[in-house]
A and B are shown apart, each in its own frame.
Chain A
Amino acid sequence: MTEKVKNAKPKQGLTRRKLLKGSAAAASVAAGSGVITGFPTVWAQNIKDITLNHTGMSYSTLIDIARQATKDLGFTVEMSVTDHPGLTNRMVNDPESIDVADSEIWQTKIYVPLGVTQAVDTEKITLWDKMTPLYTEGVFAGQEVSRQGDSPYEIMYRDAIDGVSFHDGPTRWATFMPGVYNADTLGIRPDLVGKDITSWADLFDPAFDGKSAIQNIPTIGIMDAIMAMEASGLATYGDKGNPTRDEIDKTIAKLIELKRDDHWRALWNTFDESVNLMASGEVVIQSMWSPAVTAVRAQGISCVYQPLKEGYRGWGNGLALMSHLDGLKLEAAYEYLNWYVSGWMGGFIAKQGYYISVPETAKDFLSENEAGFFYDGKPATDVITSPTGDKINNAGDVRDGGSYEERFKKVSVWNNLMDEAEFLFAKWNEFTAA
């Protein structure tokens, strides 16, 4: 009897929520939602007592996701936000405090060899075949993905559930379940910039002395710098994602030179800092992440995530399962992973400009207008709002960078943990201390 009542609740919850969705065309969404009911699929009386901890960085570990997951799944999901080094530190030193780690591709190179995570059994992920081949096969739109840096395919598979090295080619055991990803570029204030921005080299442009910023995360900031260096013709790189010591030296020397010329207004560590810098007008061109652009726009300030001719810097996240999970908690974790790509999450995160590893299901949770705008590069037929409901685009606008396909065809390099990482960290210190 109680089973029946429990069965009814999640279905009802879903349909009610769909109708309440503001701008979404209720009809198309309701039609799609029929596919994704039936969570949770594990029926245990005590699953509702489980609490899963999802730890990750500020741009993907959003409380709304936890709230929705808790509603849909019946057990509690809680979110814990940290910064890049905080995540790896916690995973290694305090693994029991995390259940699901939302990590970036390059971070897997730090923690997988230390054995703190267990591989994800691809047979337990129902939508594994629908995952974007960007991650699972290393191809996109018929061509091979740029291998500069750490493309997701290179770290995707392990040889066993507790394997500590990466396997070349698909196996049953995935390092993590692919989650959100995007292709990054520079953010600008078109109203303050005064000229057309078309190239990464504009980051170094003396016209922006005292008005530019770069992100203070060494492994990512250096890539922005490298893109700018190559675009300016100041240096050429063998593998932009894996520079040699010489190449790193040259890049850092240029960064220090610019610092001495007072070119950098500030360096930022979290995306809220970048939002403040842009919104207050202190900075007019900087490394930026998509949700920061959305946040600035939501304040009514014009900000553009500028497509540049040299291409984008790709990055991706995935959900990794910690080694200590087993039994009912492990089942709950797989429930959560399957829920994550079942659609709601994809629709939600699309509004801050991110893509999800299973785009099909995400489109079910976006209105036709939004799906067209965020994924297909079509002009908006109506106002586009951010995840929190603020207006970010008008009808008629086309998304910066165009469609999903256009964007990922132009990924020039992937975020990476380079071989010379230790050398890079020391050099980056020199840059901040200069």
Chain B
Amino acid sequence: MKSNSSLVSYLQVAPLALVLLLFVIVPIALVVVVSVFRYQILVGSVPDFTFRNYIDILSNPTNWRLYLSTLKFTVIVLAITGVLGFWISYFLVFHVRSLLIAIGLFLVCTVPFWTSNIIRMISWRPVLGREGLINTALLKVGVVNEPLDWLLFSDFSVVVAYVHLFTLFMIVPIFNSMARIDKSLLEAAVDAGASRWGVIWNVVLPLSKTGLALGAVFVITLVMGDFFVVTVMSGGLSGSVTSGIFNDLQYLNYPRAAANAVILMIIVLTIAAAIFRLVDVRKELAR
């Protein structure tokens, strides 16, 4: 009887396990295997066992610079989207009276995603360019005498594009956890003498920790894995780790690209694990 029920539970888990195995574990295993191959120019990847790719990457200062640059963008974007995401969700959950309007506004936030990602990013160019919308407006009003160069093809434009694309990924999980907060807790806090800021700091923020953590993981993964936004918005002048991987793929150097990918994966997983240590997501979700 006992073995019967455990067999049944194995069968129930089997489909998802199979999907995860085929589409997650196997590809990652392939990448790890390729990362120890040797690369010979004009021949391709030669099955071998060598750590040369890893040593090449870790000992090359350019790679360290790319990692630092990517981490820099990640931290800045995380901070901005975190603040924006929190306040927008707060407004949607606590200040909008009708649930209908709240859901309506929430959907309005998702409308930009109905257009292609690439178009939304490229449309920043005519806005930020030397003869773009912002510069023309500033010149006309007389705030500046010359167009601002640093609006486009700079770190600024990269961050703007990232925030524009990824804030929603913060809003959704935070909205989710905030919506679960029992409104009577807020009333109780006010009754106990808390100011509005006190309520937010002591009640709302701790209870939306899960949402913040999940949103942070989304944003971190997206920014660290991105190469397109940073290349296009910086005009090719900045690189990221993933653009480094892309460059290797261009010349068919799969082993080194794979090694780079493995290192990147380890770093991102470590960050995610650290976040999940701080916030016990499972316990919160089971509430």
From A113, A265, A269, A426, give the contact of B42 (CB < 8 A).
A113
Bound CA–CA A109/B20 (angstroms):
40
From A113, A262, A426, give the contact of B43 (CB < 8 A).
A113
Bound CA–CA A265/B237 (angstroms):
8
From A109, A264, A429, give the contact of B237 (CB < 8 A).
A264
Tell me the A197-219 residues at the B interface (CB within 8 Å): 210, 213, 216
The stretch of A84-92, A179-187, A407-415 that contacts the partner chain: A84-92
A81 CB, min distance to chain B CBs, angstroms? 15
Bound CA–CA A274/B196 (angstroms):
53
Bound CA–CA A425/B168 (angstroms):
37
Are the C-beta atoms of A433 and B251 separated by less than 8 Å?
A: no
Q: Which residue of B lies closest to A265 (CB)?
A: B153
Enumerate chain A residues within 8 angstroms of B253, measured Cβ to Cβ.
Answer: 422
Are the C-beta atoms of B125 and A267 separated by less than 8 Å?
A: no
Are the C-beta atoms of A433 and B62 separated by less than 8 Å?
A: yes
B35 CB, min distance to chain A CBs, angstroms? 17
Once A266-B235, A267-B235, A432-B236 are accepted as A-B contacts, the answer to whether A92 and B249 lie under 8 Å apart by CB is no
Bound CA–CA A267/B69 (angstroms):
18
B251 CB, min distance to chain A CBs, angstroms? 6
Bound CA–CA A110/B42 (angstroms):
5
Bound CA–CA A266/B230 (angstroms):
12
Q: Mark B12-47, 1 if CB is under 8 A from A, else 0.
A: 000000000000000000000000000001111000
From A88, A262, A429, give the contact of B244 (CB < 8 A).
A429
Q: Which residue of B lies closest to A113 (CB)?
A: B42
Are the C-beta atoms of B239 and A421 separated by less than 8 Å?
A: no
Main secondary structure on chain B at its contact with chain A? loop
Q: How many B residues, CB 8 Å from partner? A: 33
Q: Mark B236-254, 1 if CB is under 8 A from A, else 0.
A: 1111000110011111110
Enumerate chain B residues within 8 angstroms of A216, measured Cβ to Cβ.
Answer: 236
Enumerate chain B residues within 8 angstroms of A2, measured Cβ to Cβ.
Answer: none
Are the C-beta atoms of A432 and B41 separated by less than 8 Å?
A: no
Enumerate chain B residues within 8 angstroms of A262, measured Cβ to Cβ.
Answer: 149
Q: How many A-B residue pairs have CB under 8 A?
A: 82
Are the C-beta atoms of B249 and A89 separated by less than 8 Å?
A: yes
Q: Mark B141-178, 1 if CB is under 8 A from A, else 0.
A: 00000000100110000000000000000000000000
Q: Determine if B211 is an interface residue (Cβ-Cβ < 8 Å).
A: no
Q: Determine if A168 is an interface residue (Cβ-Cβ < 8 Å).
A: no
Bound CA–CA A421/B250 (angstroms):
12
Q: Determine if A114 is an interface residue (Cβ-Cβ < 8 Å).
A: yes
Enumerate chain B residues within 8 angstroms of A422, measured Cβ to Cβ.
Answer: 41, 251, 253
Q: Which residue of B lies closest to A277 (CB)?
A: B235
Q: Determine if A45 is an interface residue (Cβ-Cβ < 8 Å).
A: no
Enumerate chain A residues within 8 angstroms of B44, measured Cβ to Cβ.
Answer: 92, 114
Q: Determine if B65 is an interface residue (Cβ-Cβ < 8 Å).
A: yes
Q: Determine if A391 is an interface residue (Cβ-Cβ < 8 Å).
A: no
Bound CA–CA A422/B249 (angstroms):
12
Q: Determine if A430 is an interface residue (Cβ-Cβ < 8 Å).
A: yes
B75 CB, min distance to chain A CBs, angstroms? 18
Q: Determine if A299 is an interface residue (Cβ-Cβ < 8 Å).
A: no
Are the C-beta atoms of A433 and B235 separated by less than 8 Å?
A: no
Max count, chain B CB within 10 A of own CB: residue among A113, A259, A430: A430
Bound CA–CA A266/B231 (angstroms):
10
Are the C-beta atoms of A269 and B236 separated by less than 8 Å?
A: yes
A90 CB, min distance to chain B CBs, angstroms? 11
Enumerate chain B residues within 8 angstroms of A110, measured Cβ to Cβ.
Answer: 42, 252
Max count, chain B CB within 10 A of own CB: residue among A89, A432, A433: A433
Bound CA–CA A200/B16 (angstroms):
61
Enumerate chain A residues within 8 angstroms of B129, measured Cβ to Cβ.
Answer: 280, 282
Enumerate chain A residues within 8 angstroms of B237, measured Cβ to Cβ.
Answer: 259, 264, 266-267, 432
Enumerate chain B residues within 8 angstroms of A269, measured Cβ to Cβ.
Answer: 231, 236
Tell me the B210-268 residues at the A interface (CB within 8 Å): 231, 234-239, 243-244, 247-253
Max count, chain A CB within 10 A of own CB: residue among B152, B243, B247, B248: B247
Enumerate chain B residues within 8 angstroms of A433, measured Cβ to Cβ.
Answer: 62, 65-66, 69, 238-239, 244
Q: Determine if B130 is an interface residue (Cβ-Cβ < 8 Å).
A: yes
Enumerate chain B residues within 8 angstroms of A113, measured Cβ to Cβ.
Answer: 42-43
Bound CA–CA A268/B239 (angstroms):
13
Q: Determine if B280 is an interface residue (Cβ-Cβ < 8 Å).
A: no
Are the C-beta atoms of B250 and A85 separated by less than 8 Å?
A: yes
Enumerate chain A residues within 8 angstroms of B244, measured Cβ to Cβ.
Answer: 429, 433
Once A210-B149, A265-B153, A276-B125 are accepted as A-B contacts, the answer to whether A92 and B252 lie under 8 Å apart by CB is yes
Are the C-beta atoms of B250 and A281 separated by less than 8 Å?
A: no
A257 CB, min distance to chain B CBs, angstroms? 14
A28 CB, min distance to chain B CBs, angstroms? 44
Enumerate chain A residues within 8 angstroms of B41, measured Cβ to Cβ.
Answer: 421-422
Tell me the A393-434 residues at the B interface (CB within 8 Å): 421-422, 425-426, 428-430, 432-434
Q: Which residue of B lies closest to A216 (CB)?
A: B236
Q: Determine if B187 is an interface residue (Cβ-Cβ < 8 Å).
A: no
A114 CB, min distance to chain B CBs, angstroms? 7
Max count, chain A CB within 10 A of own CB: residue among B66, B129, B243, B250: B250
Enumerate chain B residues within 8 angstroms of A114, measured Cβ to Cβ.
Answer: 42-44
Tell me the A51-104 residues at the B interface (CB within 8 Å): 84-85, 88-89, 92
Bound CA–CA A416/B34 (angstroms):
29
Q: Determine if B131 is an interface residue (Cβ-Cβ < 8 Å).
A: yes
Bound CA–CA A114/B60 (angstroms):
30
B151 CB, min distance to chain A CBs, angstroms? 11
Enumerate chain B residues within 8 angstroms of A89, measured Cβ to Cβ.
Answer: 249-250, 252
B122 CB, min distance to chain A CBs, angstroms? 9
Q: Which A residues have a C-beta under 8 Å from some C-beta of B?
A: 84-85, 88-89, 92, 109-110, 113-114, 210, 213, 216, 259, 262, 264-269, 276, 280-282, 421-422, 425-426, 428-430, 432-434
- 10 A-B residue pairs with CB within 8 Å: A110-B42, A110-B252, A113-B43, A114-B44, A266-B234, A266-B236, A280-B130, A281-B131, A422-B251, A429-B244
Given contacts A426-B62, A432-B243, A433-B244, 18 further A-B contacts (CB under 8 A): A85-B249, A85-B251, A89-B250, A89-B252, A92-B44, A109-B42, A113-B42, A113-B43, A114-B44, A266-B237, A276-B125, A280-B129, A282-B129, A422-B253, A425-B248, A429-B239, A432-B247, A433-B239
Q: Which B residues have a C-beta under 8 Å from some C-beta of A?
A: 41-44, 60, 62, 65-66, 69, 125-126, 129-131, 149, 152-153, 231, 234-239, 243-244, 247-253
The 3 A-B pairs at the shortest CB distance, nearest first, are namely A266-B235, A267-B236, A85-B250
